[in-house]
Structure 1
Amino acid sequence: MAGEPRRRLAPEVRRAQLVSAAEDVFVRLGYQGAAVEDIAAAAGVTRTLIYKYFADKDEIYLECLRVARGELDAAVVAAAGGVESPEEQLRAGLRSYFLFVRDRGSTWDVLFGGGAAVAGRVAEAASRHRYETAEVITALILGAAPHLDQDSASTYAHAVSGAGEQAAKWWRRHPHIETEVMVERLMDVLWTGLERIAEQNG
């Protein structure tokens, strides 16, 4: 009813609400086109409340990136952990990745796919998050091939991560390609070498 005080949300709930609203704004307006005022309007709050949780637009963007990257990493790990053979782990991880790109394509563009013209500390943080995602893949590779040394596994993981990112960029320009086709194309590229590595186990 009119005149009723706004319901006070728990800080973690309010923060999540702001991040969700900000993600939508960044997708709609782009990083450069978005302003804190736009995010406040989308969330139905004042600029003052935004600044209670975030120092500036950069910090909001980085939190959007951190949350989405965390969701993607968790999905890939869960998918790969649901199967036993190294080949099926790779296939399941790739499928989970491409499903994220398919279902949240605009978000992927702005946060991961180079769709945001970011620089300075934002670009540095984005690069750090990308590195951390590759290190998640490193752990999966070491699980499938524990005989590998850390540096080798990390090298392979970063190659897989880079291949997936570039393939996803291509796919965003060719959305008529089915998800499973993309999964199998990456398997064709990646599994030949990784199979040989996995077979050296033991």
Structure 2
Amino acid sequence: MSRAEREVQILEVAERVFADNGYQATSMDDIAAQVGLSKPMLYEYFGSKEGLLLACLRRSKAELLTATSQAAANATSPEALLYDCQLAFFRFGDEHAQAWALLRNEFSIPSTSVNKELEAIRVQQRDFTANLLRMVQEDLADEQAEAWAEVIIGASERLALWRENRPEVTAEKATEYMITLFAPGLGF
């Protein structure tokens, strides 16, 4: 197995174990045993347990941006652009439940680097959303686009958390709730 393939394998296992057990309760021994490597090899790849968690978060960050960017690329109208990107966000949480668990649960880790990485994911999505809003309303001021994007990101995260206890609320239904709420302000 190449180094790149091994890293992917380690990240997949680590993401699952961190999501299932939580960061604090997970040891490098737990992950090493499930990957079939020695603990020193994990340290060689990622430097520390925190380094491994950061790698998991960075991978999730890239995957989320890819999912929402692909949705934007395929949209055929301003309304579809916002709907499809919002739907991609909710579907990402559904289809990447372990990554979502990391994104929503690990804020409690007392680590500056982990908290910075989590905030970087939010900033990435805020900037992405602000750019979408500017595409929909070309005369939208940068500050207003950024403020609206912050509200949308915050509301999306809370709605995604709410959905965890409401399995009957599909990604499509959650997206409809979001669009119904924000569409009037966007002139739809």
- Corresponding residue for 1:118? 109
* Mean CA deviation greater in 91-100 or 144-153: 144-153
Matched residue type, 1:80: A
User: Displacement, 1:53?
Assistant: 1.2
TM-score by length of 1: 0.85
Does residue 45 of the first structure (1) align with residue 34 of the second (2)? no
8 Å CA contact 2:57, 2:117 repeated in 1? no
Q: Deviations over 1:73-125 (max 9, x none)?
A: 1111111221132211111011111111222234312x222356312221232
Does residue 166 of the first structure (1) align with residue 158 of the second (2)? yes
Q: 1:99 to 1:192 in 2, by over 3 A?
A: same
**Aligned-residue CA RMSD in angstroms?**
1.7
Distance 1:39 1:26 in 2: 9
Q: Percent identity?
A: 27
- Corresponding residue for 1:190? 182
8 Å CA contact 1:62, 1:126 repeated in 2? no
Distance 2:107 2:167 in 1: 20
- Corresponding residue for 2:67? 75
Distance 1:41 1:173 in 2: 32
Gapped regions of structure 2 (runs ≥ 5): none
2:81 to 72, 86, 89: 89
* Larger radius of gyration between Structure 1 and Structure 2: 1
Does residue 98 of the first structure (1) align with residue 90 of the second (2)? yes
User: In structure 1, the residue corresponding to 2:76 is in which secondary structure?
Assistant: coil
Gapped regions of structure 1 (runs ≥ 5): 1-8, 197-202
Matched residue type, 1:117: S
- Corresponding residue for 1:63? 55
Distance 1:82 1:93 in 2: 10
User: Displacement, 1:163?
Assistant: 1.0
8 Å CA contact 2:107, 2:115 repeated in 1? no
Distance 2:121 2:173 in 1: 28
